[in-house]
Amino acid sequence: MKKDIQQAIKIFKEGGIVIFPTDTAFGIGCRIDDRKAVDRLFAIRKRPRTQATPVLVASIEQALPYLDSPLHIVRQLMEDYWPGALTIITPCKKEKIYSPIRGGGETVGIRMPDHSDILKVIASVGVAILGPSANIHGEKTPFSFEDLDPTLVRQVDFVLQGVCKEKTVSTVVDCSVDPFIVVRQGAVILSRKTCIVRIDSSKQHETEVVIRIGSIEKKKTIASVTHTSQQVLPLLETLLAENDLKFEDITSIEVDTGPGSFTGLRVGAAIGQTLGLLLGVPVNRKKAGAPIPLDYGIDRWKSDSH
């Protein structure tokens, strides 16, 4: 591990404040569980304590203990877009998150950045870190090392140098409401609602297609003495039309991978993968283009998240 990464880990563990690169912009943070460090961070950035600040994690598993009964869509978005430029606002366990971090409210904005250096740091620190942009509140977001305010740099304990590959802000999505609301459109393009398609062609004589919009599910099933998997596309097309949707409205696809009928599973997987590639949407919680495993066995966040 590089010496500068080791030094950043050491400073975080000791309760210090570090400026660091992420995939989107340079951030400034401290460990989430050190209230003294959090107070100092807010003072340095001149951030009002009534305005929440984002939290960065190294994995979905590290994020979940901070969240309070997250909706299905929260886990779905994490698995589809993390690591990446998507900040998710969701209800949190208030006893685990110091009040200023959540702006005195009941939600937290949380993200897993797509930057190997800071992910190594967070994983080694062992707890989430705060991750607002490295600027005085209201000032310009720094997308390169040269953009950093020298006055701010002099007040922190360490600066981890590096490159931000996206050089833009993250998308902020509020999942404390259903369907979710896109608070700020950034690097990740999301529609205001999700349309998740589930295909189950595992049974030889029955095929089911489901669409899920927020918490609402609609489904169609066809049963026949002959093989029904070839009816997947007609079923899906009918179901979308009945709900005033188009194929372009699909935001994610889930395909049953068995166990079940070999022919049915093969057809379902092929259709799901082809649709994922054509529509550019995740399939089975993977990035679009990844193969399906064929194993048949709000305002408080707009200006501060980067």
Higher pLDDT, 230 or 183: 183
Residues 77 and 160 in one domain: yes
Per-residue pLDDT band at 289 (split at 50, 70, 90): very low
Structural domain of 103 = 3-184
- Does residue 167 surpass a pLDDT of 50? yes
In a domain? residue 295: no
CATH (domain of 27): 3.90.870.10
- Are residues 65 and 118 located together in one domain of the fold? yes
The total domain count for the chain is 2
**Mean of the per-residue pLDDT values for the chain?**
88
173 and 107, same domain (yes or no): yes
Q: pTM for this structure?
A: 0.70
Reply yes or no on whether the pLDDT at 30 is more than 80: yes
pLDDT band at residue 231 using 50, 70 and 90 as cut-offs: confident
Q: Is residue 128 part of a domain?
A: yes
Please tell me whether residues 76 and 174 are part of one structural domain.
Answer: yes
Q: Minimal CA–CA distance to 296: which of 275, 254, 268, 272?
A: 268
For residues 93 and 112, state if they share a domain.
yes
Question: Which of the residue ranges 14-23, 129-138, 227-236 would you say has the lowest mean pLDDT?
Answer: 227-236
